[in-house]
Structure 1
Amino acid sequence: MEPDRIRGVLPLVPVLVALGDTEHVTAAAERLGMPQPNVSRAIRTLEQRLGVALVEREGRGIRLTAAARTLLPAFRRAIELIEDGVGAVTGAASSTVSLAFQTSLGERFIPEVVSTVRRDRPDLRFELHQGARSLLIEQLHAGRVAMALVVDTPAIGGDIEVVPLFEQPLVALLPDDHPLARRASVSVPEIAEWPIVTLARGFGLRDSLDALFARSERTPRIAFEGEDLITVRGLVTAGLGLAVVPEQPVVPAGCVSVPIRSRLASRRMCAVTAAGESRPAVLLVRDAVVRVAHERRIWAEG
């Protein structure tokens, strides 16, 4: 793009980012502290300078076009790079890293990462997102987060960079009075004979469960689908069913964990960023994530 065209686009970058975050002209205007007509006018100007449509009417509102969604990750990175540069010369605490992680990492691993980073960079701020793996990958591709800590599978897709972190064995979590509780290990066919308590589709652990059963040509008998492992573990303790979960250092009271005889009974956690990610703050956090995973061996508890 010619320099004159770039100069014409740069002042309008925050407007498209605000609109992408809110998908509502009024909300974007409030965030930017400018009148609503000015937001609409800025988007029309950006469309003219780029030569592409960025919004479409949808009922009484608007919808971002495919071109706008393609631009958003680059526009968000541009703003963060500028913030990092300003912070570097002014000493302002302007660096913010948006980090997404699967729910199973929230109890121990993420707190350790945050503590590690803050010891070296107390000025760095985190914007944390927790949820289902599929949602986190979607946020990464859309540029809403700079890094996602998720189970590594080919389904991640896209122009990304994957850094392996650690392997987690999967075990069967059973009530301590369950008929399989005294086994040295169990097979997937044996597990398949009992009701399963698990997470809903879209969560990384559910993907691991489905892959494990598919390899054995079995279908899990789902007794409950939840959204957090605390609930899953509680329902196992209550005897609703058994669960397939990552091995954990402390087994919940009233439960036992039994190894699963399958080479697929494990999952690899990884850190995922956009390919070519170069923002210093993001790279610093990624280095801390790798350090915690490889040196301290602080695993998730679920």
Structure 2
Amino acid sequence: MDLRAILPLVPVLVALGETEHVTAAAEMLGMPQPNASRAIRTLERRLGVALVVREGRGVRLTDEARALLPAFRRALQTVEEGIDAVVGASASTVSLAFQTSLGERFIPEVISAVRRERPDIRFELHQGARSVLIDQLRAGRVAMALVVDMPAIGGDVDVVPLFEQPLVALVPDGHPLASRASVSVPDIADWPVVTLAPGFGLRDSLDALFARSERTPRIAFEGEDLITVRGLVTAGLGLAVMPEQPVVPADCVQVPIRSRLASRRMCAVTAGGEARAAVLLVRDTVVRVARERRIWAEG
């Protein structure tokens, strides 16, 4: 027997078992009464047994139909449970992308805050370069991206500003710039610079800082994480343009940069019209955590 020919008809018999009336069963299923009657006749033909006996204006289920009902009900319940598991998991899972610099403190704080309120929400986390994250958002592979809005993010997206961060020059102890009260972009250009690779938000900030200067940065190393950049500054390979930090790496000094461009704005970006409750809750939590902490040094 071809189960594929039987399965579409299972809900009709289950509904008829609840009502023992074809019209009421059709209304329960949201289908015309003739379609329900036809479905029962088709099911009888395919099973080779009678399922209903007419009694006055109604019908009575046969013993064969009543024997089938428990199995049919279990089958429908199993399908419904499977759908609920998949759809429920999808509805409460948020794919969150973030720049590498946010992974140390900000993202853990956000996840902890969400779980205190909604422990059922699950996260799919993606970390990487700003340009890659924006591409993932536009392709629908992530629901939200936490990135620097520099240059401005275009397209059909909603951008929520989170916080501004001053940029500083991170230099090793003993460096000629370490004793300065502040430095200019040309001052930085005189020295090798350790930074992140093109496409990362911090590299965008560095390039924007130099964009209006006649000087260009002397790149000594292009990495993919801030821990490596900080370590190489400590080792004396070069200086770095970094977000200001409350705790300065050992054997380093951070010096303010004299430029109105020496800052960056971190944003939460979602697709335009995003309406999923779990995504909006996470975005609200991101905004709240950012406001509570004001400025996150590693962001």
191 and 154 in structure 1: CA distance in 2 versus 1, 3 angstrom threshold: closer
Question: Paired residue for 1:179?
Answer: 176
Of 113, 119, 123, which aligns to 1:126? 123
Question: Paired residue for 2:293?
Answer: 296
Q: CA deviation at 1:214?
A: 1.3
Contact 1:93 1:124 in 2 (8 A): no
Question: Paired residue for 1:256?
Answer: 253
Structure 2 unaligned segments of length 5 or more: list them.
Answer: 1-82
Could you tell me how far apart the structure 1 residues matched to 2:84 and 2:160 are?
25
Q: CA deviation at 1:150?
A: 0.2
Q: Which amino acid aligns with 2:224?
A: E
Question: Paired residue for 2:189?
Answer: 192
Residue 278 of structure 1 aligns to a residue whose secondary structure is coil
Question: Paired residue for 1:54?
Answer: none
Contact 1:249 1:301 in 2 (8 A): no
Moved over 3 A (4+): 82-87
Could you tell me how far apart the structure 2 residues matched to 1:114 and 1:84 are?
22
Of 150, 153, 159, which aligns to 1:162? 159
Contact 1:108 1:300 in 2 (8 A): no
Q: Which amino acid aligns with 1:147?
A: M
151 and 84 in structure 1: CA distance in 2 versus 1, 3 angstrom threshold: farther
Question: Paired residue for 1:109?
Answer: 106
Could you tell me how far apart the structure 1 residues matched to 2:132 and 2:93 are?
21
Q: Output aligned runs, 1:4-153, within 5 Å.
A: 87=88, 95-153=92-150
Could you tell me how far apart the structure 2 residues matched to 1:241 and 1:265 are?
19
154 and 257 in structure 1: CA distance in 2 versus 1, 3 angstrom threshold: closer
Could you tell me how far apart the structure 2 residues matched to 1:196 and 1:134 are?
21
Q: CA deviation at 1:216?
A: 1.7
Could you tell me how far apart the structure 2 residues matched to 1:294 and 1:204 are?
21
Deviations 1:39-58 (A, max 9, x none): xxxxxxxxxxxxxxxxxxxx
Contact 1:170 1:247 in 2 (8 A): yes
Question: Paired residue for 1:217?
Answer: 214
Of 221, 236, 242, which aligns to 2:239? 242
Contact 2:104 2:298 in 1 (8 A): yes
84 and 141 in structure 1: CA distance in 2 versus 1, 3 angstrom threshold: farther
Q: CA deviation at 1:301?
A: 2.0
Of 270, 274, 279, which aligns to 2:271? 274
Q: CA deviation at 1:209?
A: 0.2
Deviations 1:80-126 (A, max 9, x none): xx979953xxxx79510000000010000000000000000011000
Contact 2:234 2:251 in 1 (8 A): yes
Contact 1:104 1:300 in 2 (8 A): no
TM-score (norm 2): 0.70
Could you tell me how far apart the structure 1 residues matched to 2:274 and 2:84 are?
15
Q: CA deviation at 1:156?
A: 2.2
83 and 279 in structure 1: CA distance in 2 versus 1, 3 angstrom threshold: farther
Deviations 1:150-205 (A, max 9, x none): 00134522100000000010000000110010111000101100000000000000
Could you tell me how far apart the structure 1 residues matched to 2:251 and 2:109 are?
28
300 and 125 in structure 1: CA distance in 2 versus 1, 3 angstrom threshold: farther
Could you tell me how far apart the structure 1 residues matched to 2:177 and 2:113 are?
40
Deviations 1:107-146 (A, max 9, x none): 0000000000000001100000000000000000000000
RMSD of aligned alpha carbons: 1.8
Could you tell me how far apart the structure 1 residues matched to 2:238 and 2:229 are?
9
Structure 1 unaligned segments of length 5 or more: list them.
Answer: 1-81
Tell me the matched-pair count.
217
Contact 1:109 1:298 in 2 (8 A): no
298 and 266 in structure 1: CA distance in 2 versus 1, 3 angstrom threshold: closer
Residue 266 of structure 2 aligns to a residue whose secondary structure is strand
Of 278, 285, 288, which aligns to 2:282? 285
140 and 300 in structure 1: CA distance in 2 versus 1, 3 angstrom threshold: farther
Q: CA deviation at 1:280?
A: 0.1
Q: CA deviation at 1:217?
A: 2.2
